[in-house]
Amino acid sequence: MTVSQAIGLCSTLRLIEPDPVHYDEQFAYLLAALSEVSPVVEAAELGLVYVGGDGLEGIYGGNHKIVDAIMSCVRRATCGVENDMSIATRRTPHAARVGWGVGKFTAWVAASRAKPSEAVVVPLGEERNFLAPQPIAVLPLDTDTHRRLRRLGIRTLGALATLPEAAITAQFGAVGRRLWQLAAGRVVEPVQGRVEPEPIAAALSFFSPVGERELLVHALDQLIARALKHPRRIGWRVHALRVRAELEGGGSWLTAHLLKEPTADAGRIAAPLRTRLELSPPVGGVERLVLEFTGFAPGTTELQLFARDAQAAARAGQQRALRSAAREIRMRVKGEGGRAVLYHIIEVQPWSRLPERRYALIDYEP
Amino acid sequence: MVTPARAPLRTDRLRAVNEPQLVTVELDDSGAPAAVGRLGGSAVGRIECINETWRIDDEWWRQIISRLYYEVMLEGGKRVVLLQDLITSNWFIQYP
């Protein structure tokens, strides 16, 4: 349904702008809370998390106790209440659905069958019985395969699993084989614990909201250059990044990218961001722009990349020397009221017609 | 409580560079600036010539900015920019 159709049906409809930064933060709270239950937490996508339960029986008890612990965590993360669970439940029941089963697929199907703020537990050995009546739509299908399966009269996982594996493979190839294995409960995909990244962030606050695309691109280029110079980046190429913008009037804008080839090249990092700005720019003036490198890949043996890392190492050497010099200057010169005496000039709005808005001083922290 | 989604702006860490400084300006018969003085009374200098003038009207949707700029050369050859805030009529000096 389009917005205009919705307004046509309900004239008092109140439209709420999406706030992806808020969603992202809430999801981060959820991940942090879940990591207290299990050290193995895999964030599959926004709103979908797998929690590894192997070995937790000794801490919590049986499966139901582990599920209870997860539900408490979810409630705490989504309601923001630390101690009083009964109050949290009464006031704002969370909408999260929890599924427990062997392997990620079974757990996901179980969660998708659960009611909001409830859990479905599939006991060990019951996977096949549980999966059999489920519709084939729960499989990771493309529309064409889905249509073909329905035309063959296959509407449930059980119907698919009763067919010979070889026949499905012959009809649908490797994809079909995987679907058959999932439907038959033959695939047990373990939860992959996430590697804790140490993101590198660079931010820029504008004196007045900026809406022009080319100005945002310019600001992004600066942020990328700053983030690439960070000493923590030495020996690492950027693999995942995201940019968030705080908009005038309270909204936000977020874009996250996983680079096909990890890189330390500013141009290659900027390319997807430029495209995103072209295709769907922020819907309002940007007050603050934050770039984060959230995922990294180690440097390779390629000479070019080594050269880049050598440059990064040289920069780190300069950085150390600067840090030492800055420390000495601070010891010798005291600013008014203990304020910093060393500042760094940064471009803020170099395009501004008002000279005082073009550059700014920021505390210098080498 | 759920933490607000929006992180606080850190504009407090930024200090503007080359902010306009309030000055007193003496006008000639035609209304153009002729001499510049500090607020305390000390003179900055007499204006030898006006190189360029321009006007900026901006941000009418927020807090309107309306300024008349003069790029002038002081006696002795120093170049400065004088601006008059057309909302408050105050004069400011800024360095090019």
In a domain, B3, yes or no: no
Size of interface A-B (CB pairs under 8 A): 70
Interchain CB contact of B42 with A (< 8 Å): no
How far CA A97 is from CA of A119, A122, A223, B81, in Å, comes to 6, 14, 38, 64
In a domain, B1, yes or no: no
CA distance A1 to A102: 37
> Residue B2: is its pLDDT beyond 80?
no
Q: Which has the minimum average pLDDT: A130-144, A321-335, A349-363? A: A321-335
Strands A98-100 and A119-121: parallel
In a domain, B11, yes or no: no
Given A124, A150, A174, the domain boundary residue is: A124
Strands (E), A211-302: 236-247, 252-263, 286-298
Strands A236-247 and A98-100: unpaired
Our CA angle for A156, A159, A160, nearest 5°, is 90
Interchain CB contact of B52 with A (< 8 Å): no
Q: What is the DSSP letter of A195?
A: P
At residue A56, the pLDDT reads 87
- Residues A106, A208 share a domain: no
Structural tokens at position B5:
């989604």
pLDDT per position as a tens digit, A74-121: 887 766 544 333 333 334 456 789 999 999 999 999 999 998 888 999
Could A345 and B2 be called an inter-chain contact, meaning their C-beta atoms sit closer than 8 Å? no
CA distance A317 to A325: 13
- Output phi, psi for A243, to 5 deg: -125, 130
- Residue A235, phi-psi category: left (phi > 0), alpha (psi -120 to 50), beta (remainder): left
Q: Which has more pLDDT, A140 or A32?
A: A140
CA distance A220 to B36: 41
Instruction: Please give the single-letter amino acid code of residue A273.
Output: L
Residue A200, burial from CB neighbour count under 10 angstroms (0-12, 13-18, 19+)? buried
What CATH number is associated with residue A206? 3.30.1490.100
* Count helices and strands in chain B by DSSP H and E runs: 0, 7
CA distance A213 to A282: 9
Chain A: give the shortest CA distance to residue B89, in Å: 17
User: Which of A99-108, A193-202, A297-306 is modeled with the greatest confidence?
Assistant: A99-108
In a domain, B2, yes or no: no
CA distance B28 to B36: 12
Q: Which has more pLDDT, A320 or A280?
A: A280
How far CA A56 is from CA of A14, A39, A53, A272, in Å, comes to 45, 10, 6, 41
CA distance A132 to A209: 55
Given A180, A195, A210, the domain boundary residue is: A195
In a domain, A289, yes or no: yes
> Residue A4: is its pLDDT beyond 80?
no
At residue B11, the pLDDT reads 54
Residues of A in contact with B15 (CB under 8 A): 343, 360-362
Instruction: Please give the single-letter amino acid code of residue B2.
Output: V
Q: Which of B78, B25, B14 is closest to A288 using CA atoms?
A: B14
Interchain CB contact of A344 with B (< 8 Å): no
At residue B38, the pLDDT reads 83
- For residue B29, give its domain range: 20-94
Could B81 and A355 be called an inter-chain contact, meaning their C-beta atoms sit closer than 8 Å? yes
Q: Three-class SS of residue A99?
A: strand
Q: Which of A308, A309, A277 is closest to A291 using CA atoms?
A: A277
In a domain, A243, yes or no: yes
Domain count, chain B: 1
CA distance A24 to A16: 17
User: What average pLDDT does chain A have?
Assistant: 81
Instruction: Enter the pTM of the model.
Output: 0.46
In a domain, B7, yes or no: no
Interchain CB contact of B39 with A (< 8 Å): no
> Residue A11: is its pLDDT beyond 80?
no
Could A360 and B62 be called an inter-chain contact, meaning their C-beta atoms sit closer than 8 Å? no
Could B3 and A21 be called an inter-chain contact, meaning their C-beta atoms sit closer than 8 Å? no
**Given pLDDT bands bounded at 50, 70 and 90, which one contains residue B13?**
low
- Residues A140, A59 share a domain: no
In a domain, B74, yes or no: yes
- For residue A91, give its domain range: 18-124
Structural tokens at position A113:
């069958």
Q: Which has more pLDDT, B13 or B37?
A: B37
Residues of B in contact with A250 (CB under 8 A): 6
- Residues A116, A73 share a domain: yes
Structural tokens at position B17:
């560079």
- Residues A207, A138 share a domain: no
Our CA angle for A143, A147, A148, nearest 5°, is 120
> Residue A366: is its pLDDT beyond 60?
yes
- Residues A213, A311 share a domain: yes
Q: Which of A68, A34, A66 is closest to A49 using CA atoms?
A: A34
- Residues A158, A232 share a domain: no
In a domain, B26, yes or no: yes
Given A124, A154, A187, the domain boundary residue is: A124
In a domain, B12, yes or no: no
Domain count, chain A: 3
In a domain, A13, yes or no: no
Interchain CB contact of B29 with A (< 8 Å): no
> Residue A75: CA atoms inside 13 Å, Cβ hemisphere, count?
23
